[in-house]
Amino acid sequence: MTAAPWHHRHWVLVDVALAVCVVLLDTWVTLAGGTWWPERPDTLAWSLLALQGLAGASLVFRRRAPITVVVVLGVFTLAVTLLISPVGAVTPAHDGNLWAPFATVPAAYGPLFYQRDRRSNLVAFVVLGALTLLVMRPWDPSWSVLTIGLLRTAVGPLLGLYVEARRRLVLALTERAERAERERHLLAERARAEERARLAGEMHDVVTHRVSLMALQAGALRMTATDEATRQAAEDLRVAGCQALEELRDLVGLLRTAPEGDGSPSLADLAALVSESRAAGVEVEFVEDGDPKLASPVVSRTAYQTVREALTNAHKHAPGARVAVRVEYAASQVRVCVRNTAPTARPSPELVGTGSGLGITHLRQRVEVLGGRLRAASSPEGGFEVEVTLPSYVPTAEPVV
């Protein structure tokens, strides 16, 4: 979650600093003769200057009571205006100046932006309209006073309306984008579920048929065999076939059921994979460098498949060899290297004959789809090395948990 900006978290300090700066500015401009200050100030003038400072200090409450702040500054401006004319108690050194303090600028910004109750907007417009009339003094028309006064009280409300409209637009666009993203994830999940069901059906039709034939033939052999050893072997084969059918049925059920989470093996399962190879008698050295969390899920699964395929090939083609597995995680890429030494014994023809022989080819295609590269080659010492480099992050349609 992104932290709020500093000025939002410490808005009280921001308002206090603004009020202090505005009070100092108004005091300096007034003493310099820029507003209502007379040539020969008396006690009344100094009292009005103090009241002006207090009115400007009310900006501290511009978020909590924006209309009240505008009313305070409007009452002060009205008092100064009446004391100048018609009372005549204060005679400004320059008649063409604005008599309202600069504090009216940030004050006019508040009612339309900080007002929580939208039904009070009419009151806000009425108060701002009255303040604008007091600042502009239309009963004593002057182009400079009318223009500057209108800008001074109109800029704040217009800016407030713009900021509020922009905020609402950004919220609406963000909500629309999030809704579209959720819909895209749902469509992708539906497509995956349909493909999963299709593959499950095909696997069930093809594999179940073949395994059933094997079990039936084993049962027939058990009935027709003349020696006990053959009958026992046929029975074992029949039992294994039936067990394979049961496991296949469970697997098809899993494929046809939407998973609760992504149960595919990933880099987090590498330690268990290496432990299985060690338990089978293979000497495996396993090194991880970096943070596995840098790899996105699809990259993590592909890296795991790389190590699994390389270890499987080492088991088949390099019995007795030592295997080194190294996985490096970086911000931009994930590098997987599996290297085995020369075999110390002849490979088993039966074991080498299993499989399709297309493991590396299929793995290369998957790696290239993700924008990575695969290198598989024999080493001069008689060993073999598989090296895969993948980008750390590959966007997918999978929802982020």
Domain ranges within the chain, ordered by starting residue: 6-141, 189-256, 267-391
Amino acid present at 232: Q
Do 140 and 81 form a contact (C-beta atoms < 8 A)?
no
Q: What per-residue confidence (pLDDT) applies to 1?
A: 41
Asked if 317 and 283 count as a contact pair (C-beta separation under 8 A), the reply is no
Q: What pLDDT, on the 0 to 100 scale, is given for residue 389?
A: 93
Question: Residue 15 has which token pair?
Answer: 């308002």
Residue 134: CB partners within 8 Å, gap ≥ 6? 74, 77, 78, 81, 100
CB 347 within 8 A of CB 309: no
Enter the pTM of the model.
0.42
Q: CB burial class (10 A; 0-12, 13-18, 19+) of residue 85?
A: middle
Residue 248 DSSP class: H
Query: What CA–CA distance (Å, rounded) separates 122 from 139?
Result: 25
H or E element, residue 68: helix 66-84
The Cα–Cα gap between 72 and 51 comes to 10
CA-to-CA separations, 32 to 35, 49, 94, 188, 252, in angstroms, rounded: 8, 12, 11, 70, 88
Domain 267-391 has CATH 3.30.565.10: yes
Q: Residue 324 in contact with residue 338, Cβ under 8 Å?
A: yes
The DSSP element (H or E) to which 296 belongs, if any, is none
Question: CB count, 10 Å around CB of 367?
Answer: 21
Residue with tokens 């590959």: 394
How far is Cα 303 from Cα 193, in angstroms, rounded to an integer? Answer: 24
Contact 100, 77 (CB under 8 A): yes
Instruction: Write down the pLDDT at residue 236.
Output: 80
Orientation angle between helical segments 297-317 and 359-369, nearest 10 degrees: 160
Q: How far apart, in whole angstroms, are the C-alpha atoms of residue 359 and residue 370?
A: 17
**Averaged pLDDT, groups of 10, the chain, 401 residues long:** 61 87 91 86 91 91 85 86 83 80 82 67 75 79 78 75 84 86 79 73 63 69 81 80 68 54 67 83 88 85 87 82 91 92 77 60 83 88 90 63 38
pLDDT score recorded for residue 388:
93
Q: What is the pLDDT of residue 398?
A: 45
Cβ-contact 211, 219 below 8 angstroms: no
pLDDT at 216: 62
